[in-house]
């Protein structure tokens, strides 16, 4: 469990710096690398308590938005 959190934190830092870069023309391989890193980050963080809490919060937000949009 501790190893998973450390890898997730490392990936979060990598994602932050990759997204923070100046907007430039990116190659497809660069875009796919970013997408792959984000997907691995999601898989690593999903089974943790933080991931489950985040899922619950986002689910409630989506449910409230859906309920307010319906007549």
Q: Which pair of tokens denotes residue 46? A: 């999903």
The whole model's pTM is what?
A: 0.56
Q: What is the pLDDT of residue 23?
A: 65
* 29-50 burial: b if 16+ Cβ within 10 Å, else e: eeeeebeeebeebeebbeeeee
In 3D, which of 3, 1, 4 has the Cα closest to residue 44?
4
pLDDT digits (tens, 9 = 90+) for 3-55: 555 677 778 888 888 888 766 767 888 888 888 888 888 877 778 788 788 87
């Amino acid at each position: 469990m501790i190893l998973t959190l450390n890898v997730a934190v490392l990936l979060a830092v990598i994602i932050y710096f990759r997204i923070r870069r100046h907007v430039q023309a990116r190659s497809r391989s660069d875009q796919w690398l970013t997408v792959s890193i984000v997907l691995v980050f999601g898989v690593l963080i999903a089974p943790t308590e933080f991931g489950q809490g985040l899922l619950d919060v986002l689910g409630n937000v989506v449910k409230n938005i859906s309920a307010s949009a319906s007549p």
